Amino acid sequence: MQYHISGKMKNLKPSAIREIFKYAGDPAVISLAGGNPAPETLPAEDVRRLMNDALTQDPMTALLYNQSEGYSPLRQALRDYLGGGLVKESDDVIVLSGAQQCMDLACKVLCDEGDVVLCESPSFIGSLNCFRSHGVRLVGVPMEQDGIVIDELEKAIIQNRNARMLYLIPNFQNPTGITMSAEKRKAVYALAKRHGLVIVEDNPYGDLRFSGEDIPSIKALDDDGVVIYAGTFSKILSSGIRVGYMVVSKELMGKIVVAKQCADVHSSMPAQMLCHRFLTQRDVLAHIEKNKAVYAHKCNLMLDEMDASFPKEVTYTRPCGGLFIWATMPARIDSNEFATRLVRDSKVCVVPGSAFVVGDGALASSFRLNFSASSDEQIKKGIAACAALLKEMLG
């Protein structure tokens, strides 16, 4: 059979992270490549109990079809959890099959093929590939220590009149770990509003701040339906259950619901009922508070090991939360070669920076390190292997 492959899918490659994930199945491999939460922070016993409760108390709600908008009690619990500062009167909440689906539905509803999506560069490959799969053109805007470069963003908006969305991860960005300052959030919001651009604010890691002060989300500034906000249970409850959500203006909600119907009818009911019970029957804030200590410890351990062993020519971010550190080698070192040699010779996985780049290869000498999913022992061994190879390649 000779297949006709659509233009939008023809050149799309599998995500480098997903591919590296296959190596990670080898128990001998230390993976600093994934994006899993710290397994020890996930409340496995609570999940078992709450799921069992749901299937005992209300089995037919779990087993039969439900509304595309999501399980009503969960939608209400999310409104309560997120608060009126984030979910305004003019907003609605839809439950999704993971936050990734927010990118899929928003792009489908708002973008025609050939339209432009603006994003931070580097940015999360899963979202970038999702946008690419809709045939849009990605335009990357460079980052600095406190987030996206505003002048460059404005230039990009003006140069791309068919830009429909601006994709941002303001907290502990994937892959850089950078957090956008409050001033920049305001500036970005004002720019987007002025130019009629929808901001997609992806906030998977917001709950995982272990140092510094929380900064209000961009959605909190928004009374005019400019911002679509994506949240998830992946980092605080379970990434495997695939439950996320979108806060979106009531005006846009109708189209998003139609897109959701078309995609998968609705999200898995047992998982939705679990999330509802978790939000309403457990002390979620205390749970998150406890987890932060684990993340702080792991991040600090990794940074300490890097400080002690990495060559001085290698720089890296010092995140205040999230899962990732972004390391940058001298430009003469290619991160693909580094990552390939590292997994082949030392059985340690990292993600080469090229995976996250939008447009040209200017960031091809960086790589992403995950500190959440590994044990202390693995972090030490993994960083030691990175350091040894860095020294060798830097000569």
15 scored as a contact of a copy of itself (CB under 8 A): yes
Nearer to a copy of itself by C-beta: 59 or 84? Answer: 59
Q: Which stretch binds a copy of itself (CB under 8 A): 8-16, 146-154, 296-304, 379-387?
A: 8-16
Q: Which stretch binds a copy of itself (CB under 8 A): 60-68, 144-152, 182-190, 315-323?
A: 60-68
- Binding residues among 163-202 for a copy of itself as defined by CB under 8 A: 164, 193, 196, 198
Largest CA distance in the chain: 65
Minimal distance, residue 262 CB to a copy of itself, in Å: 4
Alpha-carbon span 167 to 128, nearest angstrom? 9
Alpha-carbon span 217 to 229, nearest angstrom? 9
- Binding residues among 200-219 for a copy of itself as defined by CB under 8 A: none
- Binding residues among 317-376 for a copy of itself as defined by CB under 8 A: none
The structure tokens listed for 69 are 């908008």
- Contact call for residues 99 and 229 (beta carbons, < 8 A): no
Q: Which stretch binds a copy of itself (CB under 8 A): 112-120, 341-349, 350-358, 386-394?
A: 112-120
Residue 236, helix vs strand vs coil: coil
Among 113, 151, 345, 392, binds a copy of itself (CB under 8 A): 113
Q: Which stretch binds a copy of itself (CB under 8 A): 233-241, 317-325, 338-346, 381-389?
A: 233-241
Nearer to a copy of itself by C-beta: 45 or 213? Answer: 45
Alpha-carbon span 4 to 2, nearest angstrom? 7
DSSP string for 130-168:
HHHTTTPEEEEEEEETTEE-HHHHHHHHHH-TTEEEEEE
Nearer to a copy of itself by C-beta: 36 or 121? Answer: 36
- Binding residues among 64-93 for a copy of itself as defined by CB under 8 A: 64-68
Q: Label residue 268 exposed, middle or buried (CB < 10 Å: 0-12, 13-18, 19+).
A: middle
Q: Site size for a copy of itself, by CB under 8 A? A: 89
The structure tokens listed for 377 are 């022992």
In whole angstroms, how far apart are CA 391 and each of 9, 242, 333, 346, 359? 40, 40, 11, 14, 29
Q: Which stretch binds a copy of itself (CB under 8 A): 33-41, 292-300, 321-329, 344-352?
A: 33-41
- Binding residues among 239-298 for a copy of itself as defined by CB under 8 A: 239-243, 249, 251-252, 254-255, 257-259, 261-271, 274
